[in-house]
Structure 1
């Protein structure tokens, strides 16, 4: 009969159960690894999924399991028969584990899930994983491409670099500007000569310009592709270029049909296309906008273009107002004209308010200064004082209310368009960055490109420096608060890059993206705190359970077959 105490027997049983659970877990992990090997080796180029952390050696885990199993079944010689049977089961399980370890050395290892604090690294690994898939698909597509496709890509890359170069845009800006001068000179000489005969020199010059414009369009199409060219962000300008070049080729064809100097009917119809020459003048603004020194002109053009939507609705509102008053004045004027005593001033009233169209036109011209609105008001004098005062009220209402509101709307639209223009934003960003570099140079007395808290405190006391930070809307209570905000890496030294980037980020009031980022960060901190609280509660519950199980049972158990055992044991 074994003399082991009850706690020792309970401990032996728990160890055996623990070993059996480890063995079952090992079998399950082995089957899972075999499945991962089956699906993961279908393509050797696939990368492991980034949502798993560092690999855990399966062999080491198996060794640990074997060691724990051996410890669980290694007891004294006086162990009972049940212990011997458990040891035999553990030895057979150990043999199976050894087989699993040898097979696991040939399969991918499992990875531990990443913690919440490693979310940025997880996102970067996810991006790498997606990029690997993109490269894999791109490589598979490249295998099917011939040498002609490679040549097309090279030509497209060359055309893209050429189309976006400053020299290319400046050259065609000069070409378009000289073409505009050529159009004006041709029309002027034709008007002075009194004949429509096309001189051969004009034909050659026109052919050169059309050829250059056609080459420009071909290069831009090769650079971005046909679909992107006609449907991209600058589709309006591109369609304008296509229409202008096509009209120029049609005009050249008309000149060829008129070799004798006299117009045929077909050539005369073709000459209608000359109106498309005006589209080349519009292209001047677009081409010259690529040059930096006329950025103000580009801002004006885009601001005016952005106000066209508001202009349409403003004109519609003004037309409705004038149409309403036109009906009133026309109806009153016709009643007076058709009356028996309406003989005097009838002709003047007909001239200004004879029908609805005439009345609406009179109201429009009176409001915008096309005619003297006093004469139109005097024409209503035979109708009575009421109609004259109604006309005066119409002029006052439209002049002070409608037109001023329209002007404010146009100004607001123009300002918003200028603020959201991409080129303007980039220019303002470069200008602001240059200003920050100058301020940093003033702070950096030693010239080593670094500012310490001592240097910053000295300059922060300067009223000009504090006024500068207030100007760029960067408010700080003291120098240390602002210095800590500018120090990104936390090395207590602010470099030029840190100063410029952080000032640009802190510039102005809080934006929606900043508030959203702060909200997400607060939610993340809240979740982590809740997880910490839950973990602490679980730890307290386990500790209370252990204290309840281990400490309270201090009373001795009854003797079994003459053997007295103690329920208490030392911890």
Structure 2
């Protein structure tokens, strides 16, 4: 009976803790704070990339690495708090795609930190010549975490409703855009067939009559309308202003 009472008490305490965390997560200041974190992190990523590009060795300063670790801890804290407040139901909510994005960002960020720590430990122990370290450094160059850091910028759309509305509007207009491009392709194709056939017939008629082809037909005509592909490309370039 004492054990049952202890379990009930622990369950009540757990529910209270979850309630407090839930209130924290639902508070407008919570989203506002992490929106500021995402925006400042986006700015920091640009500064970090620019600084690394300008460096002769391509190494990141220690201060930049520390700031990156702080952002990683903040992302982990946000994800843990949301999971503590909502549990696995969070993956079945309307924002499940954003939750998966958060998990992906946290996983890649943690992997980035682990690789940095492991590399630093191996360097301190004097294992520069070990083939494993060379492989690790080579993997650092191509590892996906550096490239996929840009995914963190997508979290801005989660907090800025105007951007989300704009992106949704763009996606909704893609269908009309595809049909417009298809119509343009059809028009270009039809006139390409006409021009290519006209140039071909003119060359055949001139050759049959034993006459010399004018330069405008022999050179420019064959250059721009000598084949169907060339004709389509020439017509598209004329639309886009690509032919001098």
TM-score normalised according to structure 2 size: 0.71
Instruction: Give 1:219 deviation, angstroms.
Output: 0.5
Retained in 1: the 8 A contact 2:111–2:145? yes
Retained in 2: the 8 A contact 1:352–1:359? no
Instruction: Give 1:258 deviation, angstroms.
Output: 4.2
Give the 3-state SS of the residue equivalent to 1:354 in structure 2.
helix
Q: Does 1:161 align with 2:18?
A: no
Distance 1:372 1:185 in 2: 37
Counterparts in 2 of 1:472-551, with a 5 A limit? none
Q: Does 1:234 align with 2:110?
A: no
Instruction: Give 1:221 deviation, angstroms.
Output: 1.4
Counterparts in 2 of 1:318-357, with a 5 A limit? 318-336=180-198, 338=200, 340=203, 341=213, 342-345=217-220, 346-349=222-225, 354=230
In structure 1, the residue matched to 2:45 is: 183
| Match among 229, 241, 244 for residue 372 of structure 1 | 241
Retained in 2: the 8 A contact 1:155–1:222? no
Q: Does 1:275 align with 2:139?
A: no
Deviations, residues 449-503 of structure 1 (Å, cap 9, x unaligned): xxxxxxxxxxxxxxxxxxxxxxxxxxxxxxxxxxxxxxxxxxxxxxxxxxxxxxx
Give the 3-state SS of the residue equivalent to 2:58 in structure 1.
coil
Retained in 1: the 8 A contact 2:19–2:85? yes
Give ranges in structure 1 of 5+ residues lacking alignment.
1-142, 290-297, 377-571
Instruction: Give 1:237 deviation, angstroms.
Output: 2.4
Retained in 2: the 8 A contact 1:163–1:220? yes
Counterparts in 2 of 1:41-440, with a 5 A limit? 146-227=8-89, 229-259=90-120, 260=123, 264-270=137-143, 272-287=144-159, 289=160, 298=161, 300-336=162-198, 338=200, 340=203, 341=213, 342-345=217-220, 346-349=222-225, 354=230, 358=233, 362=236, 366=239, 371-372=240-241
Retained in 1: the 8 A contact 2:25–2:85? yes
Question: Compared with structure 1, are the counterparts of its residues 284 and 192 closer, same or farther at alpha carbon in structure 2 (3 Å cutoff)?
Answer: same
In structure 1, the residue matched to 2:209 is: none
Question: Compared with structure 1, are the counterparts of its residues 351 and 194 closer, same or farther at alpha carbon in structure 2 (3 Å cutoff)?
Answer: farther
Retained in 1: the 8 A contact 2:38–2:152? yes
Question: Compared with structure 1, are the counterparts of its residues 239 and 352 closer, same or farther at alpha carbon in structure 2 (3 Å cutoff)?
Answer: farther
TM-score normalised according to structure 1 size: 0.33
Give ranges in structure 2 of 5+ residues lacking alignment.
129-133, 204-212
Larger Cα-atom Rg: 1
Distance 1:199 1:338 in 2: 65
Distance 2:227 2:29 in 1: 60
Distance 1:350 1:156 in 2: 74
Retained in 1: the 8 A contact 2:18–2:84? yes
Distance 1:208 1:255 in 2: 14
Deviations, residues 502-542 of structure 1 (Å, cap 9, x unaligned): xxxxxxxxxxxxxxxxxxxxxxxxxxxxxxxxxxxxxxxxx
Instruction: Give 1:315 deviation, angstroms.
Output: 1.9
Retained in 2: the 8 A contact 1:258–1:267? no
Instruction: Give 1:350 deviation, angstroms.
Output: 6.1
Give the 3-state SS of the residue equivalent to 1:195 in structure 2.
coil
Deviations, residues 146-176 of structure 1 (Å, cap 9, x unaligned): 4443333222211110011233233222322
Retained in 2: the 8 A contact 1:177–1:284? yes
Structure showing the higher helix proportion among its residues: 2
Instruction: Give 1:216 deviation, angstroms.
Output: 0.3
Retained in 2: the 8 A contact 1:207–1:252? yes
Aligned length: 213
Deviations, residues 234-273 of structure 1 (Å, cap 9, x unaligned): 2232222222222222322343454459773322231x33
